[in-house]
């Protein structure tokens, strides 16, 4: 676990020392972002390998679009789309996640080499899902879900989106644990865009610490989603197409990584892989330069100076105080101090020069 962020590891998977990058392979004709591009099995496998070459740590394979208004495919078709791609990637040593709401697809994919199951319903869509995953001992992604989006953004009303999403996820995780999935194999996902509008998504991203408080690794899936389009459009503007939101996706990914997310799920890997590595470097620098005592080190300090405690009102390093600055200030002279002193009275020591007071500046949607 990262001491700074609380990033947790998932049993059965590689313990990456930073936020992992999950690349997306949609074996679908109708996904909102890249539907049809990787519908062929060979093309899908090649795309997954390309994502790994660009920096993906694991690849999420799905055969059914969950965008608003999407029509569900039948079980046989989803199996036909997904299992060969999972098998092909796993045979090349890729860590594969299967994105499905069907227990049968999860079961066959795990048998074909998938390492974890990513179910947008958190096991609610198929009552057999939790037993299948528990029996396999596989990690399981529990996403916040309020039902299928066939009718649009259903049940997207909240009084307090952070409290309600966190509470509902907690309840769902408890159910998953009761079903036999081990606690160290549960991953949570706030479900950005699923029964949420742009403001809900932004507020959840601003409070990832609350989601991390659930005590499980956190997956953030913001890639190319509608809330990014709304932000980029500005007031009264038109949102850019999904494939023109990758820079915004990388920005969100870096912020999620620094907040402590276990992984980010993205379509375009290279920029996000760079972004999370930079976030990890900054996290490492923070850890190296923040002592446990809470006293900030000064880069200019010599070894002698660094050993001395720094008082809050000490002068700046560049304006060194005189050697006698620590001497007690002589008592204030009485009102008649200008009168001559009696003979033989020693002359009082000179007061230290005034040092300027130191001031402290203020610190500067459901789519797959």
**Catalytic residue of the set 18, 108, 146, 265:** 265
- Res 333: pLDDT: 43
- Give the Cα separation of 180 and 67 in Å (integer): 30
Q: pLDDT higher for 218 or 36?
A: 218
- Give the Cα separation of 57 and 80 in Å (integer): 25
**Whether residue 46 lies in the annotated active site:** no
Which pair of structure tokens corresponds to residue 3? 């001491």
3-state class (DSSP) for residue 141: strand
Which pair of structure tokens corresponds to residue 131? 């037993």
Residue 255: is its pLDDT beyond 50? Answer: yes
User: Which of the four pLDDT bands, split at 50, 70 and 90, describes residue 315?
Assistant: very low
Give me the residue spans of the domains in the chain.
20-289
Lowest mean pLDDT among 5-9, 215-219, 253-257, 348-352: 348-352
CA atoms within 13 A on the CB side of 264: 35
Segment 143-161 shows an average pLDDT of: 79
- Res 108: pLDDT: 99
Q: Is the distance from CB of 228 to CB of 29 less than 8 angstroms?
A: no
Which pair of structure tokens corresponds to residue 291? 């002592």
- Res 362: pLDDT: 36
User: Which of the four pLDDT bands, split at 50, 70 and 90, describes residue 249?
Assistant: very high
- Write the CA distances from 221 to 284, 289, 327, 333, integer angstroms: 24, 31, 61, 71
Share of the chain above pLDDT 70, in %: 72
- Give the Cα separation of 248 and 353 in Å (integer): 54
Q: What number of helices (H) and strands (E) belong to the chain?
A: 11, 8
Q: Is the distance from CB of 321 to CB of 356 less than 8 angstroms?
A: no
User: Which of the four pLDDT bands, split at 50, 70 and 90, describes residue 47?
Assistant: very high
- Res 237: pLDDT: 86
Residue 54: is its pLDDT beyond 90? Answer: yes
Segment 227-233 shows an average pLDDT of: 93
By DSSP bridging, strand 140-143 and strand 116-119 are parallel
- Res 307: pLDDT: 39
**Catalytic residue of the set 18, 225, 226, 280:** 225
Neighbours of 169 (CB within 10 A): 22
Per CATH, the number for 20-289 is 3.20.20.20
In sequence order, what E strands does the chain have? 20-26, 58-62, 96-99, 116-119, 140-143, 186-189, 219-220, 263-266
**Whether residue 3 lies in the annotated active site:** no
Residue 247: is its pLDDT beyond 90? Answer: yes
Q: Is the distance from CB of 264 to CB of 21 less than 8 angstroms?
A: yes
Q: What is the mean pLDDT of the chain?
A: 82
């Amino acid at each position: 676990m990262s001491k700074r962020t609380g990033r947790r590891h998932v049993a059965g998977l590689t313990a990456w020392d930073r936020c992992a990058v999950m690349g997306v392979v949609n074996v679908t004709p109708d996904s909102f972002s890249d539907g049809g591009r990787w519908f062929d099995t060979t093309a899908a496998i090649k795309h997954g390998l390309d994502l790994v070459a660009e920096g993906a740590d694991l690849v999420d394979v799905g055969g059914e679009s969950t965008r608003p208004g999407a029509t569900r495919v039948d079980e046989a078709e989803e199996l036909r789309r997904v299992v060969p791609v999972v098998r092909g990637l796993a045979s090349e040593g890729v860590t594969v996640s299967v994105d499905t709401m069907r227990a049968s697809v999860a079961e066959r994919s795990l048998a074909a080499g998938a390492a974890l199951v990513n179910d947008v319903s958190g096991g609610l869509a198929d009552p057999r899902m939790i037993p299948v995953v528990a029996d396999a001992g596989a990690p399981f992604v529990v996403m916040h879900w309020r039902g299928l989006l066939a009718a649009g953004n259903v049940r997207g009303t909240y009084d307090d989106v952070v409290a309600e999403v966190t509470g509902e996820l907690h309840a769902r995780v408890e159910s998953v644990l009761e079903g036999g999935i081990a606690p160290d194999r549960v991953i949570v996902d706030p479900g950005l865009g699923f029964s949420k509008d742009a403001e809900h998504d932004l507020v959840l991203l601003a409070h990832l610490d609350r989601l991390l408080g659930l005590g499980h690794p956190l997956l953030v899936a913001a890639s190319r989603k509608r809330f990014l389009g709304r932000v980029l459009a500005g007031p009264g503007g038109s949102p850019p197409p999904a494939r023109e939101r990758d820079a915004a996706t990388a920005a969100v990914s870096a912020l999620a990584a620094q907040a402590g997310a276990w992984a980010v799920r993205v379509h375009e890997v290279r920029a996000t892989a760079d972004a999370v590595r930079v976030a990890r470097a900054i996290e490492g620098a923070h850890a190296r330069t923040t002592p446990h005592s809470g006293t900030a080190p000064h880069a200019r300090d010599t070894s002698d100076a660094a050993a001395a405690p720094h008082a809050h009102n000490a002068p700046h390093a560049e304006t060194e105080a005189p050697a006698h600055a620590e001497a007690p200030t002589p008592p204030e002279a009485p009102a008649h101090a200008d009168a001559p002193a009696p003979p033989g009275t020693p002359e009082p020591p000179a007061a230290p020069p005034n040092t300027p007071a130191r001031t402290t500046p203020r610190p500067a949607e459901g789519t797959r």
